[in-house]
Chain A
Amino acid sequence: MAKFLMLSRGAAITPDMSPAEIQRILERYRDWTERVRRAGNLLSGEKLRVGEGRVVRGRQGQPVITDGPYTESKEIVGGYWLLEAASYDEVVAMLKDHPGLERPGALEIRRIEEFGPRR
C-alpha cells in the first residue's frame, strides 16, 4: 500500500448558505468519509487556515519571510486528507461521490515517496 496526500483546492464557502444547506453538505462529506474510513483508506485529514501563512525563501543564505501565499481565490488550498491505497487509480475511484467535486475547484493527489524496510 502507498500513501497519498490529497489537497483540496477551491474557492471559500459562500457565507450566506442556510443551516439546512450546510447540513446537507456536511452529511454528504460524512457519508464519503465514513465509507473511505471503513474501507481502511483514510488515515487523517486537516483543515488549513485560509487568508494567512508565511513563505520563507533563502536569499544569500538568509531566510526572507513574506506573508502568504496569496493565491487566486479559486486556487486556495483549504485542507488535505492523507489516504492509503494501492494506486492512483484506486484513489481516483474513491472520489466518485466526493462532495468537493460539486463545487468549482479541484482535488490534487500526490503520492508520498516511501523508501526503506516497508517496501
Chain B
Amino acid sequence: MTEPSESLPEHLFRHAAGRLVATLTRVVGPARLDLAEEVVQEALVKAVEVWPYQGVPRNPAGWLYAVARHRAVDRLRREASLRRKVAALAPLTAEPAPGRPGEHDDQLAMIFLCCHPALSRAGRMALTLKTVGGFGVDEIAAALLTRPAAIAQQLVRAKRRIRTSGLRFALPGPHDVDERLDSVLEVLYLLFTEGYQAHSGERLTRAALCEEAVRLGRLLLESPATRQPAVHALLALMLLQGSRLPARTGPAGDVLRLEEQDRSRWSRSAIREGFEHLEQAARGDRVTAYHVEAAIAACHAATVDGGPTDWPRVLELYDELLVIKPSPVVALNRALALAMVEGPRAGIRALGRLARHRALRGYHLLPAALGALWQRAEGEARAARCYRTAERQAASAPTRRFLAAQAARLRPVARPRGRAPGRTGRPRGPAGRPPAR
C-alpha cells in the first residue's frame, strides 16, 4: 500500500481527464478523439477499481497518465493502419507527466478544436465541457438543462464533423487567430452565462460551469498567441459578474436582486482580479462587446462597499454596447438603466417600444422588468400583473418563486412591509441586468 497522500486535489479527475485527452489527441489525431477519450476513461475506471484497496498513489495524475498511455499503445498495436502512431506514443513514456512542457499547448489546441467554427454552437459547448472540462454526459445535460441523450447526440455529431471536415489539432496561425479566438470566447461566455442562471437543484453543477469558463479563460492568457485584450475583457466580465454568485441566492435558494444582496458576500478577490483584467483589456485597439459588458459589470462591482451605482455611466455604456451588439436583450437592459437615470416612466416607455419585438416574445425578463418599473411608478396593480406574466414564462423554479414573491408583496395586505423607496438611501429598483441578481 502506498503512503497516505494529501487529500485529492480539487477536480483532479476532471482536469486530468482534459489534459490527458488533449495530449493523446495530439498524437493519434483529432479524427481519433474517440480513442483518446476511451483510453482516458479506462484509466479513470482503473483508478476507482484499484485505489480503494491500494490507496492513492503519490502522483495520482502521473498514474492515470501511465495507464491511459499504456492502453492507447495496446489499442493502436491492434490497429494496423495506426501502427506508425505507436512510435509517436513511445516518447511519451519518457516524458514526466503531467506538467511537462508542451502540455499547455496541447490543452489550448484542444480548446480550439472543440470550439471550431465548423461545429454547431451546441456541439461546441457540449464538446468543450466533455473533452476539455472532463464533465460527464449527465452532468453536461443537467448544467445545460437538456436530456443526456441530446448531449450524447451532439457529441457524436461534433466528433463526426471533426473527422469529415479534417479539422486539425493545432493552434491557429496569425492569419486566423482572431476569428478562431472569437469562437472560443463565445463558447466560454455561453458556458458562463448558462452557469450564472439560477436553476433549482443543480446549483453546484451550474457554479462549476462558471468556474470552468473562468479556468479556460485563464488558460488562454497563459500563451502569448492567445494573450489578447478581448480575452482579458471576457475574463474581467466573468470575474466581476461572477463575484456576486455567492450572494445571489437566499437561504431557501431563492434569487435575490442586486439591491437585496448582502454585498459583504460578494467575492472581493474576484472583483480585484476582475479589475486587473479590465485594465489589461484596455491595452488593445479593438473594443469588443466583452469590454463594454465588463465595464458595466465593473460599475456594479464598484458598489461593493455600499456606495451608489453610477447609473449615468451604465446608461452610456449600454448605448455603446447597443452599437457593437444590437440586440433586444441589450436594449431591455438599457431601458432599465434609463429608468434609473430618468425615472421609471422613461424606462416603461422604452420597454413598451420593445414589447413588439419577436425575439422577446415569451421572454420572462421583459414583463419582470416592466413589473419592477411599474412598482416604482406606483402602478401596483399593473406591476402585479406583469410579475404574474413573467412568472408564467420563467423556466427555473427559483426565478418563478422570486417573481411570485414580488407579485405577492404588492397585494394590499402585504404592503406595510417597508417597501418605501429610498429606505436605504440608495436608488432602489432593477440594476443593469434585469432582474439584476
Contacts and interface: CB of A to CB of B under 8 A. Distances in A.
- Chain B contact residues: over half helix, strand or loop, or mixed? helix
A45 B4 CA distance: 13
A30 B49 CA distance: 13
B55 interface: yes
A81 B1 CA distance: 10
A24 B139 CA distance: 14
Contacts of A63: none
B136 interface: yes
Contacts of B351: none
B138 A18 contact: yes
A34 interface: yes
Interface string A1-40: 0000000100011011111111101110110011001000
A105 interface: no
Contacts of B41: 15-16
B56 interface: yes
B303 to A, nearest CB: 35
Contacts of B134: 18-20
A13 B48 contact: yes
Contact of A17 (B1, B48, B52): B48
Contacts of A19: 13-14, 16-17, 44, 134-136
A99 B51 CA distance: 13
Given A15-B41, A19-B134, A45-B1, A25 B48 contact: yes
A80 B53 contact: yes
Counting chain A residues whose Cβ lies within 8 A of the other chain, the interface size class is 20 to 34
A59 interface: no
A50 B50 CA distance: 11
Contact of A22 (B1, B7, B47, B56): B47
A33 B49 contact: no
A46 B48 contact: no
A105 B194 CA distance: 39
Most A CB within 10 A of own CB, among B41, B51, B53, B139 = B53
Interface string B47-84: 11111111110000000000000000000000000000
Nearest to B1: A44
Contacts of A79: 52-53
A12 B51 CA distance: 14
B8 A17 contact: no
A27 B7 contact: yes
B53 A23 contact: no
B139 A26 contact: no
Contacts of B377: none
Contacts of A81: 53
A46 B1 CA distance: 8
A100 B7 contact: no
Contact of A26 (B47, B136, B137): B47
Interface of B: 1, 4, 7-8, 11-14, 16-17, 41-42, 44-45, 47-56, 134-139
12 contacts: A16-B136, A17-B136, A18-B134, A19-B16, A19-B136, A20-B13, A22-B13, A23-B14, A25-B52, A26-B8, A33-B4, A45-B1
